[in-house]
Chain A
C-alpha cells in the first residue's frame, strides 16, 4: 500500500491549494476583523477567535495573486504555526483530500520569485493540480515586514 496523506483544500483565484491537515486547527466563516494600521499589507487584521487574538493573513496578497473582488467575504483557515495560530484568508473551502505520495512532484523550475518558497510542490489529481502550501513560510512575515519598513 502506498503512502497517503491528508490535505485541507481551498481555493484562491480559482487555484486549488492544499495545506497539510495536521497543521490546520480549524476552518471558520468570515469573522469581524480589526485592522492594524502601519502593518505589512499582507496582514488583513486581527480577529477574536474565542478569546484568542489571531492575525489574519491575506493569502491572495501573500501569494502575489490578484486582490479579491470587492464584497467577497473571505473564509478563515486557521493554521498552527511556530508563533501560535494564524488565520489564512481564502476564497472558498474545498474538501479534505487523501492523496497518494506517488502523485507528488516538485514545483516546476519556471515557478519563480518569493512564491516558490511557499509552494512545496504539486499533487497531480485526476482532473486538476493541487498546490501544496508551506504554511510555516506563508505565516512567516519577517521578510515582508522588512520590505514594508524599508519602503515606508
Chain B
C-alpha cells in the first residue's frame, strides 16, 4: 500500500514521463541533432532523479543518475548518440519503470541489482575511441569515480523544474550566447538597468535581434502549453467508472419515468419529465465523452515497439500515424492494446523485408508501417498497413492443407481473400523462422478472438510484393449500445444492433411455403439463398415446441450475422430498438456463452442480452474452429464462380418516374415509413422528428427535377392523403438524412460489373443488378445537391441544423 500521496503523485507523473522518454529517445535516435528533444529528455530524467532522491529511493536515483550523466555528455556534444547508447538508455527507462512498479506494490524499491546496467551506462560515458583502448579496465571499478566526477557538472542552461524556461536559457542553448555575457546582462539588470535581458544582450552584440525574437517565441509557446496543463485535471478512473455507472442507472430511471409519464395527463409533470429526459441525454453524452481517449495514447508506444523489433531482426522501419486523435472508450482502448501491439510486431517481423531484399525488389530501403484510425458509421476503423512482402496465398494454402485446416477440395475453391483470412485460424503460422517476437502459432487467432470479444471484426488484405493491410473494426463504446428487443417464452431479450441485418415476417401461407426443411433443419429462402433458422425458444430450452412462435399466425425472423455467417433467429415477438446500458454478467453466469450481458428495461425488469456469436455457436451455425464457415463460403463461391467476395449488396427502390434505382447498402442506416401527417415543413425543407432528432427529408423527385421547376415544387407541403412516405435513412458525414423514394423494393447482392455511363446528373452509372438495368444513385451528390440549391439556409433551417 502506498501511504503517502506524494509517492502516488510521483508514480503517476513518472509513468507519464517514462512513456514520453520512450517516444523522445526513439525520436532522438532518428534525429540526433535535435537539441530541444535532447534537453527535454534530460529534463525528464533529471526530474525523476531529483524526486527519487527526495523520497529516498536510492537505487532508483542511482540508475537515473548514470542515465543523466550520459545525457549530459550527449547534450554537451562530448558524445554522439549511437543505437548502442539509445538501447542502454531505453533499458534504463525499463529498469526505472520496473522499480516504479515495485514501489507501487510494496512502496519499497525491492531487492534489485542494477550494477550491470549501471556499468553499461557508465562504460558508454567514454567516447567510443577512448572506450576501445580502456575496455580492459573492469568497468564497475571505474564507475564510482566517473559518477563523482560528473555529479559536479553544473546544470546551467537547462531549465529544470520550471515549466517556462527563461529567456537567457533559451538564448544560451539556441543562439550560442555565452554564459559570461548572460551573467553580465543579469548583473546590469540587478544594478538597475530597466531594460529586458534580451535588449541588453542585443546592445552588447552578444545576440542577434532575430535570435531574441525566436527565443521569445519559444518561451511563448511553452507558456501556452502550461496553460493547457492548467485547464485539465487528473481524474481517478475508478471514480469515472462509478460516475459512468450512476449515469447508466440514471438513464434507466429516466426511461422508467418516461414510461410512467406517458400514462399521465399532468402537463407540468410531463414538462418536468421531458426536461429530465433532455438533461439525462446530455449528461450521458458528456460522461461518455470523458471516457473517450485518443487512440494516440496507445499508439505512442509503438515507435518504441517498432524500433526494438526492427533492431532485433535487423530491419529498418519507419512508422507513420494518421488519425491519432480518433477517440475510443477507455475500456475499448485497453482491450485492443494487446491485439494492436501484436499486429504491429507482426508487420515488422513478418511483413517488412530485410533492407537488402527491399532494395532488390526496387523498394526504399526503409520499410513503412502505417497506422490509420478513423470513424465510420458508428464504428472505429483501425488499419495497420505495411509495404512489405505481402501474403503469399500459395504458401498459406499449402500450410493450411498441411495443418489439415482445410481440405484439398476447399483449398482449390477458395478465393484469395478467403485464403488470407485463414491466418486468423487457430494453430496457423507461416513464419519460416520462429523468432522471439511472433511465429509461435498463437497470435493472429488470439488477435481475432480478442477483437471479437468486444464486438469488433478483423480482416486482412494483401498484395504479394506490395504489402499487407489488417483492418480492425470496433464499436465506439461498450457501455451503451442500441439493441433490438424481442420476446421469447414471455421474457424479453436484447440483440445488439451491430449483428442485426434485417427483419423478416412471414404470415399465413408463407409460413409453410417459405420455411423448408433440409433433413430436419429448418431453412428459409431469403432472396434465393438458404438461411438456416434457429428457434430461440429451442436454443434456450424454453417450452421446446415451435408452435408457440407461430401463435398469432406469423413467424418473426431476425436475420443476424455472426462471424461472416448469416442465420435467421425465430422469435415470438419483435419490439423496437432501444438504447440499452450493458451490465456484465456475474461470474456465476459467465459459463453461459449465449448471453453477453444483462440490462434493465424501462419498466425496471432485467433483460438478458444475447451474444450473437455465442448463440450461433450454440446452435451450430458457426462451429468453434470455423471450418464450417469456410465450407459454406466455398459452396457459395462455386455458384458465383469463385468471386463471391466481389459481390456487393444493393438496396433496390423505385425512384421518381418509375425508374429502377439502387444504392449500396453500406450507406444505409435504416428503412422507415412515415405517415404524411408526421412530415413538417421547415422553410423549404421537409423534415420529420426521428429519434430525438430533426431528420431532413430529401425528396428525390425534386432533386432530380430540372432546376427551374425545383423551387416551386419545393414549397409544396406534403399532401396528406398520399399515404405514408417511404424513406431511406442515410448516414453521411456523421449526420442522418432521409431520402424520400416512391417504393422500396428489395436488398440484393450482385457483382454489378456491367456498367454504362450515367445519362443524367446525380446518377453514378447504370448497372445491371438482378438482370435488370438499374441506375446507381450518387448519394453524396444528391445530398450536396439538396443542400446546395434546395435547402437555402433560411433561419428555420439553421435551427434545424443546430438541433441535429
A interface residues (Cβ-Cβ under 8 A, vs B): 32-40, 43, 45-48, 50-55, 57, 82-84, 86, 139-142, 145-146, 149
Given contacts A48-B600, A51-B252, A51-B253, contact A34 B607 (CB under 8 A): yes
Contact between A48 and B606 (Cβ–Cβ < 8 Å)? yes
- CB-CB under 8 A from B591, the residues of chain A are 40, 145-146, 149
Whole-angstrom CA separation of A45 from B592 in the bound complex: 13
Contact between A36 and B595 (Cβ–Cβ < 8 Å)? yes
A-B pairs with beta carbons under 8 Å apart, 11 shown: A37-B541, A39-B589, A46-B598, A46-B606, A46-B608, A48-B604, A83-B587, A84-B586, A141-B587, A142-B587, A145-B591
Whole-angstrom CA separation of A48 from B602 in the bound complex: 12
Contact between B592 and A39 (Cβ–Cβ < 8 Å)? yes
Given contacts A32-B604, A36-B608, A86-B588, 11 further A-B contacts (CB under 8 A): A34-B605, A35-B491, A37-B541, A39-B589, A39-B592, A46-B608, A48-B606, A51-B249, A53-B598, A53-B600, A145-B588
Whole-angstrom CA separation of A35 from B598 in the bound complex: 12
Q: Which one of A52, A53, A141 contacts B588 once the chains associate, using CB atoms below 8 Å?
A: A141
What's the least CB distance linking B242 to chain A, in Å? 12
Whole-angstrom CA separation of A45 from B489 in the bound complex: 15
Given contacts A39-B592, A84-B586, contact A34 B252 (CB under 8 A): no
Whole-angstrom CA separation of A139 from B588 in the bound complex: 8
Whole-angstrom CA separation of A139 from B248 in the bound complex: 26
- CB-CB under 8 A from B253, the residues of chain A are 51
Whole-angstrom CA separation of A51 from B253 in the bound complex: 8
What's the least CB distance linking B620 to chain A, in Å? 15
Q: How many residues of B contact A (CB 8 A)?
A: 26
- CB-CB under 8 A from B732, the residues of chain A are none
Given contacts A46-B606, A53-B583, A86-B586, contact A38 B592 (CB under 8 A): yes
Any A CB within 8 A of the CB of B594 = yes
What's the least CB distance linking A79 to chain B, in Å? 13
Contact between B586 and A55 (Cβ–Cβ < 8 Å)? yes
Query: From residue 477 to 491 of chain B, which have CB atoms closer than 8 A to chain A?
Result: 489, 491
- CB-CB under 8 A from A57, the residues of chain B are 588
- CB-CB under 8 A from A38, the residues of chain B are 540-541, 592, 594
- CB-CB under 8 A from A50, the residues of chain B are 249
Any A CB within 8 A of the CB of B542 = yes
Contact between B606 and A34 (Cβ–Cβ < 8 Å)? yes
- CB-CB under 8 A from A35, the residues of chain B are 491
- CB-CB under 8 A from B608, the residues of chain A are 34, 36, 46
What's the least CB distance linking B637 to chain A, in Å? 35
Whole-angstrom CA separation of A55 from B598 in the bound complex: 11
Q: Which one of A33, A40, A51 contacts B600 once the chains associate, using CB atoms below 8 Å?
A: A51
Interface string of B574-616 (1 = CB under 8 A from A): 0000000001001111011011001110001111100000000
Query: From residue 107 to 130 of chain B, which have CB atoms closer than 8 A to chain A?
Result: none
What's the least CB distance linking B439 to chain A, in Å? 34
What's the least CB distance linking A50 to chain B, in Å? 8
Given contacts A38-B594, A39-B592, A53-B598, contact A32 B605 (CB under 8 A): yes
Nearest chain A residue, comparing its CB with the CB of B595: A36
Given contacts A32-B605, A46-B598, contact A37 B589 (CB under 8 A): no
Contact between A48 and B541 (Cβ–Cβ < 8 Å)? no
- 4 nearest A-B pairs in the assembled complex, by CB-CB distance: A51-B249, A37-B540, A34-B606, A141-B588
- CB-CB under 8 A from A34, the residues of chain B are 491, 598, 605-608
Nearest chain B residue, comparing its CB with the CB of A144: B588
What's the least CB distance linking B405 to chain A, in Å? 27
What's the least CB distance linking B157 to chain A, in Å? 56
- CB-CB under 8 A from B540, the residues of chain A are 37-38
Whole-angstrom CA separation of A150 from B75 in the bound complex: 67
Whole-angstrom CA separation of A57 from B489 in the bound complex: 22
- CB-CB under 8 A from B605, the residues of chain A are 32, 34, 48
- CB-CB under 8 A from B587, the residues of chain A are 82-83, 141-142
Contact between B491 and A55 (Cβ–Cβ < 8 Å)? no
Given contacts A51-B249, A53-B598, contact A36 B586 (CB under 8 A): no
